[in-house]
Structure 1
Amino acid sequence: MRAIKRWLDVDDYKPLAFSENLDIVYYAMPVDTSDLVHNAARHGYVRLTMKCNSPYAYSRNTSTHSFDISSGMKIIELHNKGDVAIYPTVEILKIGNGDVKIENLSDYTEPFIFSNLKDREIVKVNGVKEIIESSLYGNERYDDFNDNYIRLDYGKNRLKVTGKCKLRFTFRFKYR
């Protein structure tokens, strides 16, 4: 039991899942004191109170396959199986020089637009942390982005992609 108490002695939120559904993860840490209850015969339990970092539970990280938009325009569908809107990470491999535009036809928000991308440049846009990384320029691509991160509402999201590229999305569903 003491090993369990040491294991739970953390200073930051850590993933916590229960055996009933290991695909649902909470980010939690113990608060207050823990009670060690046992019968001195190696049987017992630990009673504790946990605090979560948000009102949501999350799925494990999900990555899509690579969408090939080498034709210059394609409509793709992504399904948000969670309960609330999420902001995915988008990885773009540009084919030829030019722009990439992604419009969510399901929620009518402003489009996601990246300008002046170079051939074979890989740009990774984290929609949660709002961080942009480029394989050519480090983090200096903010001037070429319109600051409209992709939002995926609950259910089916139809995305119209304009511009020759390959795309991959990574996200976690959020549950109430």
Structure 2
Amino acid sequence: MTIAESLYFVYDGIRSDEMGLINVNMSSGMQEQIFLPEQSLKEVTIRGRDTPYFIETERRPFTLSLNFAFTENFDDEKLNKVARWLGNQPYYKPLYFSDNLDKWYYTLYSGEAKLLHNCLKQGILQIQMRNMSPYTYSPVYESDYYDYSTNTSDGSKWVIENKGNLSCKPVLTIRKIGDGEISFINLSDRGKNFRLVNLRANEEVIIDSEEEDIVSNIPMTFHFDDVYGDFPTFVEGANYFEIYGDCLVKWKYQFKNIG
């Protein structure tokens, strides 16, 4: 599914058709749409060697050029309402289109926004929306608590499928049962082990794998020196985890895609 096929879009939780706007195409024939983000190569060239040394790639956030038509005649009140909605956001807000509601962009108005009209209060809005990263995302998923309060020495199994085509770094909420430690081993990611020690009974910690941050509900308690191994990550495809330690675990995650 592509943007051009969509009738309406949703921005900041509000449907465009409820605001009197629908998605339109301004050109005939083949439609053009961003497929992959802009990428540059970092290389080093030395004298006497024609082939440069490759260092890394660098991807840049992309901009969507969008066209929306007013379904009815507009007036100043309607224009002001749309301007506040699309042009006065304090931070990137989710944007997704009707033909693929599971593909999210996080965008802010950038560059120019133009109103094309026929002097009869009928027209089309052209606007550029810049994505916050080179990637697109799934909706945010949050599980209920999984109960491992009677975990054995053999641990417990848990499986999740990463439906994106890039790695995903979840947020975990862990409620410890009894004093001790917890451990998460991802057998699908070369057996990488995340271990957190010195937890207190009934302590609740929030583990943000993306930011590599841990927050405890016990005041003045910090666990930065109690972490061993790698923060939990979902690799592409099925992820088979082994979980050790008596606890309750809740997962929050958002799959990420390139393209």
Normalising by structure 2, we get a TM-score of 0.63
**1:114 and 2:196 matched:** yes
Cα deviation code 1:112-146 (max 9, x no counterpart) = 10001111111110111222111114561212112
Q: Is the 8 A contact 2:168 2:235 kept in 1?
A: yes
Q: Which segment drifts farther, 51-60 or 96-105?
A: 51-60
Match for 1:131 among 185, 207, 213? 213
| 1:42-121 mapped onto 2 (5 Å cutoff) | 42-72=121-151, 73-121=155-203
Which residue does 2:112 correspond to in 1? Answer: 33
- Aligned residue-pair number: 176
- Give the SS at the match of 1:107: coil
* Structure 2, unaligned runs of 5 or more: 1-78
Distance 2:157 2:142 in 1: 18
Letter in 1 for 2:252: T
CA-CA distance at 1:16 after TM superposition:
1.3
Higher strand share: 1
Normalising by structure 1, we get a TM-score of 0.91
Distance 1:137 1:143 in 2: 16
Distance 1:79 1:39 in 2: 51
Which residue does 2:84 correspond to in 1? Answer: 6
* Structure 1, unaligned runs of 5 or more: none
Q: Is the 8 A contact 2:140 2:254 kept in 1?
A: yes
Q: Is the 8 A contact 1:132 1:139 kept in 2?
A: no
- Give the SS at the match of 2:133: coil
**1:166 and 2:245 matched:** no
Cα deviation code 1:121-174 (max 9, x no counterpart) = 111101112221111145612121126210101111011001111111100111
Deviating 4+ runs (over 4 angstroms): none
**1:17 and 2:96 matched:** yes
- Give the SS at the match of 1:8: helix
Bigger RCO (CA 8 Å, 6+ sep): 1
Distance 2:82 2:191 in 1: 47
- Give the SS at the match of 1:60: coil
Q: Is the 8 A contact 2:192 2:229 kept in 1?
A: no
CA-CA distance at 1:8 after TM superposition:
2.2
- Give the SS at the match of 2:192: coil
Letter in 2 for 1:80: N
Q: Which segment drifts farther, 40-49 or 85-94?
A: 40-49
Q: State the structure with more CA Rg.
A: 2
Distance 2:128 2:218 in 1: 47
CA-CA distance at 1:95 after TM superposition:
0.9
